[in-house]
Structure 1
Amino acid sequence: MELSLHLLWAFLVFAVVMFFTPGPNNIMLLASGLNFGFRRTLPHVVGVTCGYAFMIGVTGLGLGAVFASLPWLQTTLKYAGAAYLVYLAYAIARSGPPEPGEAERRRPMSFIGAALFQWVNAKGWVMAISIITAYAAISAYPWNVALQVLVSLLIGAMSSVTWVLCGTALQPLVKSARAVRIFNVTMAILLLASLYPVLAEI
């Protein structure tokens, strides 16, 4: 397996920038870290990491060609994802600190939910298609796809854990019900702002 080292370096830089910058996944992980803590958010972290890496692999192994021949399918997924993000933003904005006895009944996003969310994540699709098309020459097929999946797993896991830890670190600072409400509304606004790339194409 021959590697194009300069292209691999460019891919790593791109992946770090895209995974660590704010987007729907990171904003929801930050909010979950604050509201539920690190341990209870772990299934969400694993779901995001594995679900997105799987999406990269499937795209690299042929889904990209399906989108090229059926552009309406990608458009449908994009707007379905936008609608779902609006719903999530509404749910986050309305949530406050749990009432006594309610904390254990409220649950963060599950592994399955987080993994499935990747398929309606507008920023995720932009990243996946960019990764598969722009960095395909890293190595020969299918090793290039395997390498892209591996890098996505590693950097995605580091990014997800970092954002959850940031949310968890805010817990001592955001103690009052009003502060939690303000934080959640801010996260909801940022989540809506992450839709800009989709809305800009309308």
Structure 2
Amino acid sequence: MIEFALAVFFLIVTPGPGVLTTAGIGAAYGYRPGLAFIAGLFVGGHIVMVLVISGIAAAGLAIPWLRTGLLLASVGYLVYLAYRVATAGSRIGFIDPSKPLGFWNGLALQPINPKAYVVTATLFSGFVIFPQALAFEVVVKIVIYNLIWVPLHVGWLWAGVTLHALNLPHVIQRRINVAMALSMLLVVGLALWSAA
């Protein structure tokens, strides 16, 4: 169970579209819109869990043209987000929407986020905790997952709010943008590796 919890922590803490956008909303608009976005990510993430655990995602992804199309769309979206982050200039931009993204944006992001599928599939198929009680194992995994997921996302929101308040020099802000963009590209690589 400890191995599962560590895997949840490390797979979720790595930057992906959800956490980077959460941090960006925090940097641009503060806690309230960020918490609404996190609530949407939370619900959307549980939709992805249902799709993965039930096998619906696997059945859909077994159709070659659908799998390839979804993979290309997801990778393209992540590369676009990485580009937006890297070219945000000398201010910490993450994502700079004209108005705050809210609950529905968070909800919509998770089903198209390849990292959400990779993480969920890895966690729910890669760690056997209670081999004789599959339903109980799924419930335990969901509880552990949520106990780690919620504080990590709130932490990313706090990081965005804090970075905004720090008023860092332009050169440091630019380096942070490039590091976040590279992290996004790492997620793209993970998605492509997983697909292979």
| Shorter-chain TM-score range | 0.7 to 0.9
Q: Compute the TM-score of the two structures, normalised by the length of structure 2.
A: 0.76
Task: Count residues with an aligned counterpart.
Answer: 190
Unmatched segments (≥5 aa) in structure 1: 1-7, 98-102
CA deviation after TM superposition for structure 1 residue 16, in Å: 1.2
| Kept after mapping to 2: 8 A contact 1:57/1:149 | no
Number of the residue aligned with 2:99: 107
| Counterpart residue type for residue 119 of structure 1 | P
Match of 2:5 among 9, 12, 20: 12
| Counterpart residue type for residue 115 of structure 2 | K
- List aligned pairs for 1:113-128, cutoff 5 A: 113-128=105-120
| Kept after mapping to 2: 8 A contact 1:31/1:184 | no
Number of the residue aligned with 2:69: 76
Is 1:61 the counterpart of 2:41? The answer is: no
Q: Deviations over 1:106-139 (max 9, x none)?
A: 3232212212211221222111111221135536
| Kept after mapping to 1: 8 A contact 2:36/2:102 | yes
Quick check: 175-184 or 148-157, which moved more? 175-184
Q: Aligned partners of 1:184 and 1:69: how far apart in 2?
A: 36
Number of the residue aligned with 2:39: 46
| Kept after mapping to 2: 8 A contact 1:46/1:157 | no
Is 1:146 the counterpart of 2:139? The answer is: yes
Q: Secondary structure at the match of 1:172?
A: helix
Q: Aligned partners of 2:189 and 2:140: how far apart in 1?
A: 30
Instruction: Check 1:185–1:69 CA distance in 2 against 1; reply closer, same or farther (3 A cut).
Output: closer
Instruction: Check 1:113–1:34 CA distance in 2 against 1; reply closer, same or farther (3 A cut).
Output: same
Is 1:132 the counterpart of 2:121? The answer is: no
| Kept after mapping to 1: 8 A contact 2:33/2:101 | no
Q: Deviations over 1:82-119 (max 9, x none)?
A: 1222333445556689xxxxx9x932322122122112
Quick check: 147-156 or 8-17, which moved more? 147-156
Q: Deviations over 1:126-163 (max 9, x none)?
A: 11111221135536233332333333222211110011
Q: Aligned partners of 1:181 and 1:90: how far apart in 2?
A: 13
Identical amino acids, percent of aligned pairs:
26
CA deviation after TM superposition for structure 1 residue 60, in Å: 0.8
Q: Radius of gyration: which is bigger?
A: 1
In angstroms, what is the RMSD of aligned CA positions? 3.2
Quick check: 21-30 or 168-177, which moved more? 168-177
Q: Secondary structure at the match of 2:75?
A: helix
Q: Secondary structure at the match of 2:100?
A: coil
Unmatched segments (≥5 aa) in structure 2: 91-95
Q: Aligned partners of 1:17 and 1:72: how far apart in 2?
A: 32
